Structure 1
Amino acid sequence: MALFQLFLISVLGSCMAQDEDIMTPVVNIYSELEKLKASIKGLTVDLNTAKNELAEQKSLIRELQKQIKETPKVAFTASMSSTPSAHRGPFSSETKLIFDKVLTNIGNAYDPVKGVFTAPVKGVYYFRYSGAAFSSQDMGLSIFKGTARFVSSYEYNSGERNDQISNGAVMELDVGEEVYMNLWIRTWIFVDRRYNYSTFTGYLLYPLDSTSV
């Protein structure tokens, strides 16, 4: 009987120990909940930051679209109408070339009657010309900014069948400044009827703030 009582006490003790293990939580629920709250708070901050960055990018895109829309559109290309002699020059003095055959004139800043481009806005512009001539004469061309010679090209009578020259320049122009082409003294330039070998081209790269120095 005493042995049975000892066995029963041992079994009951073991069961009570197992009950205590079952009731004791393996994970601290409150600690994990606080960690989850902190994680959600961090994600909320990141989301708000992303929203602010997206709003800034949208604002920048709208501003760029507005600038593009408001930027003046200025571009031209002109050649010369054919003449009975199929060339201009040679002349006894340097002479302005009139590129009267307009191929493109967006913004109408180029005057084909005077052969002069007048800057409609302050900005940075690009100009380029090409010239063709028979080899029996020299050819000299210059771009002028106002009264100042800017860039030039010269082709000596090489004895080849055809001669061609070209050049270009970037200019900063104020509103109303003029750009045009001159033919050098005692030189000539070929004027064709169909192919527009000799041309004068210019366009606005970007405007400048009129208040800038």
Structure 2
Amino acid sequence: MMVMKVATIKMKLLVLVLAAQLLKVNSNEDIDEEAIEEVFVELNRRIQEVKKFCSMQVSAVKQVAFSAVLHPPKTSGLGIIGPFSDIANLVHPHVITNTGGAYKAHTGVFTAPVKGVYFFTFTTHSWAKNADIGVALYRNQAEALRVCEHQDDGDNGDYATNSAALILEPGDTVSLRLPKGFQVAASVEFNIHTFSGFLLYQL
């Protein structure tokens, strides 16, 4: 990471500066061992400060990852969600992983805790004939991408997936939404419709 590289450079410069001080001390004919020892003690103290700084920066790095599953509004089997007369938020209530707690199962919304590059992926399932199927990934209130298809009378079950890397600011939200007039399918027993994301690195 950039922070670690900067800290390493600072440590190297520090060693060079104190080494130069040590050489200056050694060039003095009246030097004694006590003065040399003081230079080494100061060198060690400053190195420990840089190491502590590096450790604090590493511990401050956020670990963020989630995976959640869409369930149909029924108690068993396969269920259809949609179509609706307007765009609808798809709430994935069954959480598999939620490291960092940035995904809220009751709203289906991910909120970025830090500025960084995040990766999101989703898989949707459909079980329909003569219907528009698919979902859209939203960053805040703007659609980032979607996957969609019109299934004709000869079609039936189908899967589709899509992914994106997004630069997010703290507080930015990401969610899956069902476009107006579209529908998808989900299962109670099987995790066939999923939404996942994680932080690649902080900026």
TM over 0.5, shorter chain: yes
Q: Which residue of 2 aligns with 1:201?
A: 196
Of stretches 132-141 and 102-111 in structure 1, the one that deviates more from structure 2 is 132-141
Runs of 5+ consecutive residues of structure 1 not aligned to the other structure: 1-59, 209-213
State the shift of 1:140 in Å: 2.2
Deviations 1:114-152 (A, max 9, x none): 111000011110011110011323212111111111011
Alignment partner of 1:185 out of 169, 180, 186: 180
Q: Which residue of 1 aligns with 2:65?
A: 75
Q: Is the 8 A contact 2:72 2:81 kept in 1?
A: no
Alignment partner of 1:125 out of 110, 118, 125: 118
Where in structure 2 are the equivalents of 1:38-49 lying within 5 Å? none
Within 2, Cα distance between the matches of 1:195 and 1:138?
Answer: 23
Within 2, Cα distance between the matches of 1:132 and 1:62?
Answer: 49
Summarize the Cα distance change of 1:81–1:67 in structure 2 as closer, same or farther, 3 Å threshold. same
Q: Which residue of 2 aligns with 1:24?
A: none
Q: Which residue of 1 aligns with 2:9?
A: none
Alignment partner of 1:144 out of 119, 138, 152: 138
SS in 1 for 2:182: coil
Where in structure 2 are the equivalents of 1:47-58 lying within 5 Å? none
Within 1, Cα distance between the matches of 2:185 and 2:108?
Answer: 17
Runs of 5+ consecutive residues of structure 2 not aligned to the other structure: 1-49
State the shift of 1:65 in Å: 6.7
State the shift of 1:64 in Å: 7.3
Find out whether 1:156 has 2:150 as its counterpart: yes
Where in structure 2 are the equivalents of 1:5-24 lying within 5 Å? none
Q: Which residue of 1 aligns with 2:167?
A: 172
Structure showing the higher strand proportion among its residues: 2
CA-based RMSD: 2.4
Q: How high is the TM-score relative to the length of structure 2?
A: 0.68
Q: How high is the TM-score relative to the length of structure 1?
A: 0.65
SS in 1 for 2:187: coil
State the shift of 1:72 in Å: 0.8
Within 1, Cα distance between the matches of 2:182 and 2:119?
Answer: 25
What percent of counterpart residues are identical?
32
Find out whether 1:134 has 2:162 as its counterpart: no
State the shift of 1:67 in Å: 4.9
Summarize the Cα distance change of 1:192–1:64 in structure 2 as closer, same or farther, 3 Å threshold. farther
Which amino acid letter does the alignment assign opposite residue 135 of structure 1?
Answer: A
Deviations 1:10-69 (A, max 9, x none): xxxxxxxxxxxxxxxxxxxxxxxxxxxxxxxxxxxxxxxxxxxxxxxxxx9998776544
Q: Is the 8 A contact 1:155 1:163 kept in 2?
A: no
Which amino acid letter does the alignment assign opposite residue 180 of structure 1?
Answer: S
Q: Is the 8 A contact 1:155 1:164 kept in 2?
A: no
State the shift of 1:196 in Å: 1.0
Count of residues in correspondence between the two structures:
152
Q: Is the 8 A contact 2:67 2:95 kept in 1?
A: yes
